[in-house]
């Protein structure tokens, strides 16, 4: 789909301003950089002079995210906010933005609190609902015949959603369950507990540098157990730093570079050409988010909130995932895959090996008062 400047200009007068808040420095910066780069690739490919993107660093701190969001809303007069990676930051920003009459369209963070009773007609999650990839991992663990997994995640909203989701579709006995500190880098105590637990497998959600630290330390421990994780712990932002320790690991994702459709091919090739590296899930989600917004801009004047909201809900864009639609709570209904970490030449990456959940919707949608 193309977005001509003239057609967009006819749709409404001034520019549509998008405020992209993401983590560009400190811990987790690689995730924010990929978010920014995926989003801007879609904007650049569209060649759209009628959309302005303002980019700011949240430093992975809720107070900074709130400060930046307030500036964007009050001084920059943005129409749409997006880009936050971390759920605790999203919870600090998105409801307040919605209350001030702004759309929030999430590239990643999608905590349970905003999917059920706390849903909002102006809040859209393009990525997933936080539980989803972890639910898929639980379903895969059950199908694989594991009976005593040990599970761990950081103690923040997405980590809590992670273990809740895994347990929901796994449904069996656990060897152990742990919450770690957000940003933790030393996992000696946790690995000792895993060793002593009698576990037959491990599930962990530790995004960014946390996952790199854990995987390296776990590999050095000599514990020989199968590992399952969501994509975040085996993403393209992490694999180069982990190396052989991740080979053969199964992880769950709603996207991979080998999904066979024209939009995904354009994205993967364009990202490599523009940035000289393979894209991650964070980049793919941000790319879809930008194209969703562009599709709404083509159809509706941002000043007509009802029409613009309906255009977002319609999701009339070519997703890198192929089929894409929103549920009643403005979260995706989508397929989720099992991927395996492989090596292509000198590059560590993933390949899809199965579909574990089809047309999957989050459980919180039933608590949301919005309709389709």
CATH number at residue 198: 3.40.50.2300
Q: Residue 372 has what pLDDT?
A: 80
> Is 331 inside any structural domain?
no
What does the alpha-carbon distance between residue 128 and residue 231 come to, in Å, rounded to a whole number? 12
> Is 200 inside any structural domain?
yes
Q: Do 236 and 247 belong together in one domain?
A: yes
Q: Do 150 and 216 belong together in one domain?
A: yes
Q: Do 191 and 68 belong together in one domain?
A: no
Q: Residue 36 has what pLDDT?
A: 98
> Is 295 inside any structural domain?
yes
Determine how β-strand 103-106 pairs with β-strand 149-154: unpaired
> Is 370 inside any structural domain?
no
Q: Do 102 and 145 belong together in one domain?
A: no
> Is 289 inside any structural domain?
yes
What does the alpha-carbon distance between residue 30 and residue 108 come to, in Å, rounded to a whole number? 14
Closest CA to 333 of 321, 317, 320: 321
> Is 63 inside any structural domain?
yes
Q: Residue 120 has what pLDDT?
A: 98
Q: Residue 98 has what pLDDT?
A: 98
Q: Do 122 and 210 belong together in one domain?
A: no
Q: Residue 3 has what pLDDT?
A: 34
Give residue-wise pLDDT tens across range 323-359: 999 999 999 999 999 999 999 999 999 999 999 999 9
Q: Do 208 and 137 belong together in one domain?
A: yes
Question: 286 is in which domain, residue-wise?
Answer: 16-128+259-326
Q: CB of 88 within 8 A of CB of 114?
A: no
Q: Do 242 and 349 belong together in one domain?
A: yes
What does the alpha-carbon distance between residue 332 and residue 105 come to, in Å, rounded to a whole number? 12
- pTM tops 0.85: yes
Crossing angle for the helix pair 157-170 and 87-99, to the nearest 10 degrees: 110
Q: Residue 14 has what pLDDT?
A: 63
Q: CB of 15 within 8 A of CB of 51?
A: yes
Q: Do 170 and 229 belong together in one domain?
A: yes
Q: Do 352 and 320 belong together in one domain?
A: no
What does the alpha-carbon distance between residue 123 and residue 81 come to, in Å, rounded to a whole number? 10
What are the tokens at 341? 């970490």
> Is 238 inside any structural domain?
yes
Q: CB of 205 within 8 A of CB of 162?
A: yes
> Is 283 inside any structural domain?
yes
Q: Do 301 and 354 belong together in one domain?
A: no
**332-to-187, 189, 226 alpha-carbon distances in Å:** 34, 37, 30
Q: Residue 15 has what pLDDT?
A: 87
Q: Residue 4 has what pLDDT?
A: 36
Q: Do 274 and 346 belong together in one domain?
A: no
Q: Do 116 and 61 belong together in one domain?
A: yes
For 32, what's the count of Cα atoms within 13 Å in the CB-facing half-sphere? 24
**Residue 341 burial by Cβ neighbours in a 10 Å radius (0-12, 13-18, 19+):** buried
**Positions in the chain whose pLDDT score sits under 70:** 1-14
Closest CA to 102 of 332, 346, 303, 316: 303
Number of domains in the chain: 2
């Amino acid at each position: 789909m193309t977005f001509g400047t003239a057609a967009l200009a006819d749709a409404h007068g001034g520019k549509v301003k998008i405020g992209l808040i993401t983590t560009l420095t400190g811990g987790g910066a690689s995730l924010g950089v990929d978010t920014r780069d995926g989003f801007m690739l879609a904007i650049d490919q569209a060649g759209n002079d009628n959309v302005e993107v303002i980019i700011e660093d949240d430093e992975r701190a809720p107070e900074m995210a709130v400060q930046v969001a307030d500036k964007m809303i009050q001084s920059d007069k943005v129409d749409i906010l997006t880009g936050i990676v971390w759920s605790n930051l999203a919870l600090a920003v998105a409801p307040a933005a919605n209350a001030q009459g702004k759309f929030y369209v999430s590239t990643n963070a999608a905590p349970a609190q905003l999917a059920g009773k706390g849903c909002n007609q102006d809040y859209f999650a393009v990525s997933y609902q936080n539980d989803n990839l972890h639910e898929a991992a639980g379903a895969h663990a059950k199908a694989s015949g594991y009976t005593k997994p040990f599970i761990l995640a950081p103690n923040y909203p997405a980590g809590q959603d992670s273990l809740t989701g895994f347990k929901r579709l796994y449904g069996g006995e656990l060897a152990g369950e742990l919450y770690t500190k957000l940003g933790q880098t030393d996992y000696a105590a946790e690995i000792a507990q895993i060793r002593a637990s009698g576990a037959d497998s491990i599930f962990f959600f530790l995004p960014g540098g946390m996952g790199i630290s854990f995987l390296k330390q776990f590999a050095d421990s000599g514990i020989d157990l199968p590992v399952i994780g969501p994509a975040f712990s085996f993403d393209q932002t992490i694999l180069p730093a982990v190396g052989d320790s991740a080979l053969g690991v199964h992880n769950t994702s709603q996207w991979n570079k080998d999904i066979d459709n024209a939009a995904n091919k354009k994205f993967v090739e364009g990202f490599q050409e523009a940035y000289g590296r393979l894209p991650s899930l964070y980049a793919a989600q941000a790319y879809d988010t930008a194209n969703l917004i562009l599709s709404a801009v083509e159809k509706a004047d941002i000043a007509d909130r009802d029409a613009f909201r309906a255009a977002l809900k319609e999701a009339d864009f070519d997703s890198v995932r192929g089929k894409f639609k929103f549920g009643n709570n403005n979260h995706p209904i989508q397929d989720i895959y099992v991927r395996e970490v492989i090596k292509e030449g000198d590059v560590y990456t993933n390949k899809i090996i199965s579909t574990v959940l089809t047309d999957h919707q989050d459980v919180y949608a039933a608590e949301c008062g919005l309709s389709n």
